[in-house]
């Protein structure tokens, strides 16, 4: 579920369209595995009796809750996009209720990334974009290969700046209209 091409400006192209890194799903997967192990033990590892029947229901509830948590994490992963275009960075998330931010490339001042050791191994991390805007600083978690994304944004900024300076020079080289006195 990438960004809809109809939301792009004229002559704007998509450079990157990324979902968050799969590491975002790890908490949900771990919750399912742990609850299934505990639930399996409670359901089949204990004897018979009223207490054991109650434990089986608790085990089933634990498994269902962990599956719900994983489903919520997966929907969040699926419905989140970080997009870099030739004009801006776009972040969108949500299915029923949407939220997002757009940062024009010409307003970006600095891009930081952060990767811990495990993040470096998995090629995941956080990306922080400082811009000359109302919010000033935006942090994006679980970005796939943030070093690459940082480089792509800087290249897009450079190309955008080159294109706008070329366009302004072209406008400046047009012959100026001569004004004739209007008597």
How far is the C-alpha of 46 from the C-alpha of 114, rounded, in Å? 46
pTM of the model: 0.74
How far is the C-alpha of 74 from the C-alpha of 131, rounded, in Å? 30
Question: Residue 138, Cα to own-chain centre: how many angstroms?
Answer: 11
Q: Can you tell me whether residue 24 is helix, strand or coil?
A: helix
pLDDT in 10s for each residue of the chain, 183 residues? 567 777 787 888 889 999 999 998 998 999 999 998 888 877 776 666 666 777 778 888 989 999 999 999 999 999 999 999 999 999 999 888 889 999 999 999 999 999 999 999 999 999 999 988 677 889 999 999 999 999 999 999 999 888 877 766 665 555 555 555 554
Cα–Cα nearest to 129, from 149, 155, 145, 115: 149
- CB atoms < 10 A from the CB of 56, how many? 15
């Amino acid at each position: 579920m990438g960004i809809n091409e109809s939301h792009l400006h004229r002559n704007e192209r998509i450079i990157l369209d990324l979902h968050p890194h799969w590491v975002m799903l790890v908490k949900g997967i771990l919750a399912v595995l742990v609850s299934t192990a505990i639930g399996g033990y409670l359901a089949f590892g204990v004897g018979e009796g009223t207490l054991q029947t109650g434990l089986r229901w608790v085990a089933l509830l634990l498994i269902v809750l962990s599956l719900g948590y994983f489903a919520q994490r997966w929907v969040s992963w699926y419905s989140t996009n970080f997009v870099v275009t030739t004009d801006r960075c776009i972040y969108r998330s949500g299915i029923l209720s949407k939220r997002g931010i757009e940062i024009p490339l010409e307003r970006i001042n600095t891009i930081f990334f952060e990767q811990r050791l495990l993040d470096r191994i998995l090629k995941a991390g956080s990306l922080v974009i400082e811009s000359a805007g109302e919010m000033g600083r935006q942090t994006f978690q679980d970005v796939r290969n943030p070093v690459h994304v940082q480089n792509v944004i800087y290249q897009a900024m450079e190309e955008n700046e080159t294109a706008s300076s070329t366009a302004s020079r072209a406008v400046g080289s047009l012959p100026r209209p001569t004004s004739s006195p209007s008597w």
